[in-house]
Amino acid sequence: MSMLTRQAPDSGPAQLPVPGPMTMINVCADLLPREIVEARQGKKAKKMAIMALAGLLVVIIGWDVIARIQTSSAQSDIDAANAQTTALTLKQHSYGELSQVQSQSKQITASLNSLLSGDLQWGDLIAAVRHSVPQGLSIQTLSGSLDASSTKTTTAGGTALLNTSGLAEVGTLTVTGMASSPNTVAAFVDAVSKVPGVTAPVPSSILQADGGIAFSAAFVLTTKLLTGGRFSSSAASGSTSGAGK
């Protein structure tokens, strides 16, 4: 068996592959001694620890400042509340003194009402009598007296017999003066007898005198004039004298 062999044509010298772009590889190597590296790492860690401690210290100081401010504010509120409490206590004490004074005043008023239950408003009575003076009459003297023990509607005699008011007699009133005529005296006596608490008018005397008629009139004072203990400062006494209208 024969084999046929074909020889490839000669293509010339062999060609080598052309290399592509070169790739650079970075290679780093720490050539420092291990002691230096550890020392640097220790310094870095220490620095970070110091910074952390400093931050913590700042936070603590901030908290302390805030706590002091809040404590100061709370103390101010407490001081204000204590001051207000003290003021209210003092005011309460002053009100207590006022209440005590008012209570004592009521007791004094009650005592005066009891002691002066038979007091008479002389000032009001005298003013009413003077208001009753008609034209042509003048009052020379006006005197009054109280009988604290007199509680009867009638007595043995005198002006009390004319007391038809039904009220007890407590005193008498006597008026003297000058008038232009007997009719003027009668008008005056009638006007005075209409004053509340005054009754039983009696002209004691009517005499002709130089310049007119000299007269004297007496009246009965009844319990209607009593004030129940309310004292009139304008009536320090029960008598007066002077000219009327």
- Which tens digit of pLDDT belongs to each residue from 149-208? 544 444 444 555 678 778 888 888 999 999 999 999 999 999 999 998 898 888 888 999
Closest among 210, 173, 203, 200 to 188, alpha carbons compared: 203
pLDDT of residue 72: 85
pTM equals 0.46
Closest among 125, 145, 112 to 228, alpha carbons compared: 112
Give Rg (Cα) of the chain.
63
Continuous segment of H or E residues that includes residue 31: none
Class of domain 122-241: alpha beta
pLDDT of 49 > 60? The answer is: yes
For the chain, give every domain's residue range: 34-115, 122-241
Please give the Cα distance from 111 to 105 (Å, whole number): 10
Comparing 21-25, 213-217, 228-232, 235-239, which segment has the lowest mean pLDDT? 235-239
Please give the Cα distance from 173 to 158 (Å, whole number): 13
